[in-house]
Protein backbone atom coordinates (compact mmCIF):
# COMPACT_ATOMS: atom_id res chain seq x y z
CA UNK A 1 0.00 0.00 0.00
CA UNK A 2 1.38 3.38 -0.93
CA UNK A 3 1.82 5.78 1.92
CA UNK A 4 -0.53 8.64 2.63
CA UNK A 5 0.86 12.14 2.24
CA UNK A 6 0.00 14.56 4.99
CA UNK A 7 1.05 18.21 5.12
CA UNK A 8 2.29 18.66 8.69
CA UNK A 9 3.59 22.08 9.66
CA UNK A 10 4.20 22.94 6.04
CA UNK A 11 6.14 19.81 5.15
CA UNK A 12 4.76 16.83 3.29
CA UNK A 13 5.16 13.77 5.49
CA UNK A 14 4.42 10.23 4.47
CA UNK A 15 2.76 7.68 6.66
CA UNK A 16 2.36 3.97 6.13
CA UNK A 17 -0.21 3.64 8.85
CA UNK A 18 -3.65 2.28 8.11
CA UNK A 19 -5.88 5.23 7.06
CA UNK A 20 -8.19 4.53 10.01
CA UNK A 21 -5.35 5.24 12.45
CA UNK A 22 -6.07 8.37 14.47
CA UNK A 23 -3.96 11.31 13.37
CA UNK A 24 -2.67 11.78 16.91
CA UNK A 25 -1.18 8.29 16.85
CA UNK A 26 0.51 8.93 13.54
CA UNK A 27 1.89 12.26 14.76
CA UNK A 28 3.24 10.81 17.97
CA UNK A 29 4.35 7.34 17.04
CA UNK A 30 5.35 7.56 13.41
CA UNK A 31 6.31 11.18 12.86
CA UNK A 32 7.86 11.58 16.31
CA UNK A 33 5.92 14.77 16.97
CA UNK A 34 5.09 14.05 20.57
CA UNK A 35 4.06 17.53 21.61
CA UNK A 36 0.42 16.68 20.91
CA UNK A 37 -0.89 14.73 23.90
CA UNK A 38 -3.60 12.14 24.42
CA UNK A 39 -5.83 12.83 27.42
CA UNK A 40 -8.86 10.71 26.58
CA UNK A 41 -8.73 9.50 22.99
CA UNK A 42 -12.41 10.35 22.44
CA UNK A 43 -12.54 14.03 21.65
CA UNK A 44 -13.62 15.00 25.15
CA UNK A 45 -10.63 16.81 26.64
CA UNK A 46 -8.88 18.72 23.84
CA UNK A 47 -5.36 17.72 24.84
CA UNK A 48 -4.78 16.45 21.29
CA UNK A 49 -5.95 19.63 19.56
CA UNK A 50 -4.21 20.47 16.30
CA UNK A 51 -5.21 22.74 13.44
CA UNK A 52 -6.69 21.16 10.34
CA UNK A 53 -7.06 23.69 7.54
CA UNK A 54 -6.92 26.41 10.15
CA UNK A 55 -9.58 24.97 12.45
CA UNK A 56 -9.06 23.45 15.86
CA UNK A 57 -9.87 19.74 15.84
CA UNK A 58 -9.25 16.79 18.14
CA UNK A 59 -6.60 14.76 16.36
CA UNK A 60 -7.73 11.63 18.21
CA UNK A 61 -10.91 11.75 16.12
CA UNK A 62 -9.32 12.46 12.75
CA UNK A 63 -8.51 9.27 10.85
CA UNK A 64 -5.20 9.88 9.13
CA UNK A 65 -6.88 9.02 5.83
CA UNK A 66 -8.91 12.17 6.25
CA UNK A 67 -5.85 14.26 7.12
CA UNK A 68 -4.27 13.46 3.79
CA UNK A 69 -4.67 16.49 1.58
CA UNK A 70 -5.29 18.82 4.52
CA UNK A 71 -2.95 21.25 6.21
CA UNK A 72 -2.15 20.02 9.69
CA UNK A 73 -0.46 22.35 12.14
CA UNK A 74 0.83 21.13 15.51
CA UNK A 75 2.48 22.70 18.55
CA UNK A 76 5.86 22.00 17.00
CA UNK A 77 5.18 24.72 14.43
CA UNK A 78 5.46 27.46 16.98
CA UNK A 79 8.54 27.94 19.14
CA UNK A 80 11.40 26.05 20.75
CA UNK A 81 12.29 26.12 24.45
CA UNK A 82 15.15 28.50 23.74
CA UNK A 83 13.22 30.45 21.11
CA UNK A 84 9.67 30.83 22.34
CA UNK A 85 6.96 32.46 20.32
CA UNK A 86 5.75 35.60 22.15
CA UNK A 87 2.47 33.84 22.96
CA UNK A 88 4.36 30.98 24.55
CA UNK A 89 6.61 33.35 26.44
CA UNK A 90 3.61 35.15 27.86
CA UNK A 91 1.96 31.90 28.95
CA UNK A 92 5.15 30.86 30.75
CA UNK A 93 5.69 34.19 32.43
CA UNK A 94 2.13 34.54 33.65
CA UNK A 95 1.87 31.01 35.03
CA UNK A 96 -0.95 30.12 32.65
CA UNK A 97 -0.28 26.39 32.97
CA UNK A 98 1.07 24.03 35.63
CA UNK A 99 1.57 20.39 34.74
CA UNK A 100 1.58 21.35 31.07
CA UNK A 101 -0.26 18.30 29.73
CA UNK A 102 -3.18 20.34 28.41
CA UNK A 103 -0.96 23.15 27.21
CA UNK A 104 -0.09 22.22 23.62
CA UNK A 105 -3.80 21.69 22.95
CA UNK A 106 -4.64 24.99 24.61
CA UNK A 107 -2.06 26.83 22.53
CA UNK A 108 -3.47 25.38 19.31
CA UNK A 109 -7.04 26.32 20.23
CA UNK A 110 -5.80 29.78 21.09
CA UNK A 111 -4.00 30.10 17.75
CA UNK A 112 -7.13 29.00 15.89
CA UNK A 113 -9.11 31.65 17.74
CA UNK A 114 -6.68 34.50 17.23
CA UNK A 115 -6.05 33.77 13.58
CA UNK A 116 -9.78 33.87 12.99
CA UNK A 117 -10.59 36.69 15.40
CA UNK A 118 -7.70 38.87 16.61
CA UNK A 119 -9.92 40.85 19.00
CA UNK A 120 -11.96 38.22 20.82
CA UNK A 121 -14.17 39.14 23.74
CA UNK A 122 -14.00 37.25 27.01
CA UNK A 123 -17.04 35.29 25.83
CA UNK A 124 -15.32 34.41 22.54
CA UNK A 125 -12.23 33.22 24.40
CA UNK A 126 -14.19 31.03 26.80
CA UNK A 127 -16.20 29.62 23.92
CA UNK A 128 -13.07 28.78 21.94
CA UNK A 129 -11.37 27.06 24.88
CA UNK A 130 -14.37 25.25 26.33
CA UNK A 131 -13.09 22.09 24.68
CA UNK A 132 -9.71 22.24 26.42
CA UNK A 133 -9.84 20.70 29.87
CA UNK A 134 -7.34 21.83 32.45
CA UNK A 135 -7.37 20.37 35.94
CA UNK A 136 -4.46 22.24 37.48
CA UNK A 137 -5.02 25.95 37.00
CA UNK A 138 -8.72 26.68 37.24
CA UNK A 139 -8.18 28.62 33.98
CA UNK A 140 -7.78 31.94 35.80
CA UNK A 141 -4.23 32.74 34.77
CA UNK A 142 -4.90 31.40 31.32
CA UNK A 143 -7.68 33.93 30.84
CA UNK A 144 -5.50 36.71 32.22
CA UNK A 145 -2.64 35.74 29.89
CA UNK A 146 -4.87 35.60 26.85
CA UNK A 147 -6.22 39.03 27.70
CA UNK A 148 -2.67 40.37 27.63
CA UNK A 149 -1.84 38.44 24.48
CA UNK A 150 -4.79 40.06 22.74
CA UNK A 151 -4.04 43.55 24.07
CA UNK A 152 -0.40 43.29 23.06
CA UNK A 153 -1.18 41.76 19.66
CA UNK A 154 1.29 38.96 20.33
CA UNK A 155 -0.11 36.46 17.88
CA UNK A 156 0.79 38.66 14.98
CA UNK A 157 4.48 38.52 15.72
Partner 1 sequence: MSADFRVIGQPRPQLDGPAKVTGKAEYTHDLTLPNLLHGAILRSPYPHARIKSVDLSKARAMPGVVVAISGEDFPDKKYVNAGPVYADRFAMARDRVRFVGEEVAAVAAETLGQAQAALAAINVEYETLAAVFDVEAALAPGAPVIHQKPDLPPNITQQSVADFGGVEAAFEDAEHIFDATFEHGIVAPVCLETNGVLASFDAAAGSLNIWAPTQAPFFVRKEVAHVMELSLEEVQVRSVVIGGGFGGKSQSPEPIAIAAMLSMQAGRPVKILLNRQEEFLSGKSDHAKKMRVRSAVAVDGSILGRHTEFWVDNGAYTHMGPAYISAVRQRTCNLYRVGAAGFDGKLVHTNKISGGSYRGMGSPQIIWAIETQIDEIAEKLGKDKLAYRIEIANQPGDQTPMGWNIGTCALAECLAEAGRRIGWAGKKDAMPANRGIGFAAMINPSVGMLYAEGNFACVSIDLMADGRLRVGTQSADCGTSQNTVMGQFVAEELGLSGEQIDVLHMDTEETPPDLGSAASRVTFVSGNAAIKTAKVFRAKLAARLAKRWDVSPSEIKFDNGIASYKDDNVRRLTLAEVATQEGPFRVEDRYDIDMPRPDPKTGYGDYAATYGFGAQAVEVEVDPATGHVTVLKVVVVQDIGRVINPLALDGQMHGGIVQGIGMALREELTFENGAPVNASLITYKVPRIQDTPEIETAYIETNDPAGPYGAKAGGEHSINPTPAAIANAVAQAAFTRFRKLPITSADVLNALEEKKPLALKPWKRPYNLEVAAARTLYPSVLFPGLRKLGGAVGRKPKPKSTYEYVCPDDLQEALQELAKPERTAKVMGGGTDLQVGIRQGIYELDAVVDISSLDELRGITIDESQITIGAATTIAEIVERDDLRAIHPMLTDGLAKIATAQIRNVATIAGDLSQEKRCWFFRSGVQCYKAGGMSCPCYAVLGDNRHHSILGAGRCSAPCVADAAPILTALDAVVVVVGAGGRRRVPLREFYVWFGETVVRPGEIIQAIEVPRDRMRSTQAFEKSAGWDGDFADASVAVHMSWDGAALSSVRISLGAVSPLPVRAVATETALLKNALTAETIRVAAGKTVHGALPLADNKHKSHLLVNLTERAIKRCLLD
Quote the least distance from Cβ 109 to partner 1, whole Å: 7
Work out whether 88 is an interface residue with partner 1 (CB under 8 A). yes
50 phi and psi angles, rounded to 5 deg: -130, 175
Please give the Cα distance from 77 to 96 (Å, whole number).
20
Q: How far apart are CA 50 and CA 67, in angstroms?
A: 11
Beta strands in 53-127 (DSSP E): 55-58, 71-73
Which of 45, 51, 43, 44 is closest to 27 using CA atoms? Answer: 51
71 part of the interface to partner 1, by CB under 8 A = no
Residue 10 is a binding residue for partner 1 (CB under 8 A): no
- Minimum distance from residue 36 beta carbon to partner 1 (Å): 7
CB closer to partner 1, 66 vs 71: 66
Q: Which one of 7-15, 21-29, 148-156 is the stretch in contact with partner 1 (CB under 8 A)?
A: 21-29
Geometric angle at alpha carbon 123, from 136 and 145, rounded to 5°: 45
By CB under 8 A, residue 86 contacts partner 1: no
Is position 47 an interface residue for partner 1 (rule: CB under 8 A)? yes
- What is the footprint of partner 1 within residues 99-138 (CB under 8 A)? 99-104, 107, 109, 112, 125-138
78 binds partner 1 (CB under 8 A): yes
Amino acid sequence: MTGLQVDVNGKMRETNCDPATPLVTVLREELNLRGTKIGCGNGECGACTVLMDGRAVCSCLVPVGRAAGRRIVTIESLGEPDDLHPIQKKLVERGAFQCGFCTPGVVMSLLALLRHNPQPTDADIRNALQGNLCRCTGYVKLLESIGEIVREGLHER
